[in-house]
Amino acid sequence: MQRDMPTSIGGSPDALAGSSAAVNGLLIAGASALFALSAQIAIPLPHSPVPITLQPLAILLIGAALGPTRSAIAACLYLLEGLAGLPVFALGHSGPAALIGPTAGYLYAYPAASWIAGWCATSRVGSSRFRASLVMIAAIVTLYVGGWSWLAAAWGMGSRLAFFAGIAPFFLADLVKVAIAVLLLPAASRLKARFTL
């Protein structure tokens, strides 16, 4: 039998509605710092210009904890921090060069992927582990589409080579990250509820 989680897992669909500006600001800043920390746990791959990082898991968990609006804003703030020169991207990269490099497509997809992961936590979808898994996978696929299309077009790899360089090496690891995120959804919900006033 399918075991359902509480239907109130994400609270209000408007993630900003229930919290003060100060609380929202602190949560968004903290989430952007978590994006940066997760990027530093990076493993370069010999046949890909894209390293393995913990950022997909961070996107899923931050989305679940903060909801769609705050997590998407945090992702945008993270990109602005990197653009400003802070070494927040994978392997300590930063600046405009990182936003036209091989990982740029994934970076540009972060706000959308974060929003999707957050929507899972604020809708009835998140009341079922199976449905939550599908939405979390959709968030990961959003990252893949951004990264794959950038490698294929901007970096001239073509669709086939971009798939094997930008998606295939990460698929199994990202499925594990989805499973971890779904298991932690109830804890993320309790954390979110604590900061919704």
Answer whether residue 13 is part of any domain. Answer: no
Instruction: Return the CA Rg of the chain.
Output: 16
- For residue 52, pLDDT over 50 is answered with yes
Q: Could you give the number of structural domains in the chain? A: 1
Answer whether residue 126 is part of any domain. Answer: yes
Task: Name the percent of the chain lying above pLDDT 90.
Answer: 65
**Residue-level pLDDT at 10:** 42
In this structure, are residues 112 and 142 in contact, taking their beta carbons and an 8 Å threshold? yes
**Residue-level pLDDT at 189:** 64
Mean pLDDT of 21-29: 91
**Residue-level pLDDT at 11:** 44
Mean pLDDT of 89-102: 93
Answer whether residue 114 is part of any domain. Answer: yes
The DSSP letter of residue 95 is S
What is the helix (H) or strand (E) element at residue 121, kind and residue range? helix 104-121
| Domain CATH code at residue 42 | 1.10.1760.20
- For residue 181, pLDDT over 70 is answered with yes
- For residue 60, pLDDT over 80 is answered with yes
CA distance 182 to 110: 19
Answer whether residue 154 is part of any domain. Answer: yes
pTM value is 0.84
Answer whether residue 61 is part of any domain. Answer: yes
- For residue 21, pLDDT over 90 is answered with no
Where in the sequence is the domain holding 90, given as residue range(s)?
A: 21-194
Distant-in-sequence, close-in-space partners of 71: CB < 8 Å, separation ≥ 6: 15, 31, 59, 62, 63, 65, 114, 115, 117, 118
Using alpha carbons, select from 124, 118, 148 the residue that is nearest to residue 136.
Answer: 118
**Residue-level pLDDT at 175:** 94
Answer whether residue 1 is part of any domain. Answer: no
Answer whether residue 27 is part of any domain. Answer: yes
3-state secondary structure of 190: helix
Q: Identity (one letter) of the amino acid at 139?
A: A
- Per-residue confidence band for 9, with pLDDT thresholds at 50, 70 and 90: very low
